[in-house]
Amino acid sequence: MEEYRHRLMDYVREEIMPHRFCTGCGCGTVLNAFVNAVEGVGLSPAKMVCVSGIGCSSWIPSPYFRSDTLHTTHGRPIAFATGVKIMRPDLTVIVIAGDGDVAGIGGNHLIHAARRNIDLSVFMVNNMIYGMTGGQVAPTTPYGVKTSTTPHNNVEPAFKVAELVMTAGASYVARWTTYHVFPLMESMQNAIRKRGFSFIEIVSQCPDNYGRRIGLRTAVEFLHQFKEKAVRIDKTAGMSEAELADRIIIGKLCDRERPEFTAELHALTRRIVAALKQEQPA
């Protein structure tokens, strides 16, 4: 009998499987959705560069996804990816990293990349906590949650990252959760295809370092909660801010055509070089 081999194994570095995410971690689901999306788009990993930072979800592309990979310093993957994309605009450059990395320490790079509208797809896995370091408060941790560095209470409100990125100028912004796997897959395909800055906030579960602090011990409990709290963006029109406070707004926040940074930059360079050729030799 032939040994069973999953059709998507070609997209992962099989030699280092099984992965090392904790039991019930949402990162496996995101990896699953991502490889399905890459297959769905019909993209060859040979034409991709995956860039990640520091944190659990940065392990989704590095080491697990089989493409050229740049595993960078904490918070900086979007800045590194900017250099790759400018010099190789023909390659598809994907950033996968966590909320602490992308919206915390690296928040400045996020908003400026969105403003430039550079053709990157950024998939931010938001588990609402610093998981890898053991459960410290994140800029995405909800108000009132006790974490290892807010043992008495978190008195800061959480960042609405997707809305921030939309305001900063991105072409495509969506938010989904690890419960909404099929819409997430479709959204990832749209993000990869989109010419411009694409951002998906993926609300995900961390049973070990977040769930145990808020009374959700298993991934199943988390997914039930995501299902209950989720409200599609087209259903939010009549809802008050108070009604939305504890909800997760899911769906596509924006999908629009805006000038893309690397295309603008290279067109400008071509014009300058052509103009110089017209000039008489100095």
Cβ closest to another protein, residue 108 vs residue 218:
108
193 binds another protein (CB under 8 A): no
8 A C-beta contact, residue 38 and residue 8: no
84 binds another protein (CB under 8 A): yes
8 binds another protein (CB under 8 A): no
Cβ closest to another protein, residue 24 vs residue 139:
139
Residue from 237, 240, 272, 278 touching another protein (CB under 8 A): that is 272
State the Cα–Cα distance between residues 257 and 272, nearest whole angstrom: 25
Q: How many residues does the chain have?
A: 282
Residue from 40, 63, 142, 183 touching another protein (CB under 8 A): that is 63
Q: Which residue shows structure tokens 């912004």?
A: 173
Least Å distance between CB 62 and another protein? Answer: 6
Residue from 29, 36, 57, 62 touching another protein (CB under 8 A): that is 62
76 binds another protein (CB under 8 A): yes
16 binds another protein (CB under 8 A): yes
Contacts of 26 (CB under 8 A, 6+ apart): 125, 127, 178, 202, 204, 205, 206, 219, 222
Least Å distance between CB 149 and another protein? Answer: 22
Residue 126 phi/psi, 5° resolution? Answer: -105, 100
Contacts of 1 (CB under 8 A, 6+ apart): none
Least Å distance between CB 216 and another protein? Answer: 30
Taking residues 111 to 150 in sequence order and writing x for each that binds another protein by CB under 8 A, - otherwise, the string is -x--------------------------------------
Residue from 1, 46, 155, 242 touching another protein (CB under 8 A): that is 46
Residue in 256, 75, 85 with CA at minimum distance from that of residue 167: 256
67 binds another protein (CB under 8 A): yes
Least Å distance between CB 249 and another protein? Answer: 27
153 binds another protein (CB under 8 A): no
231 binds another protein (CB under 8 A): no
| Span near another protein by CB under 8 A; candidates 44-52, 183-191, 217-225, 237-245 | 44-52
- Residues in contact with another protein by the rule CB under 8 A: 13, 16, 45-47, 49, 51, 62-63, 66-73, 75-76, 79-84, 86-88, 90-91, 108-109, 112, 265-266, 268-269, 272-273, 276-277, 281-282
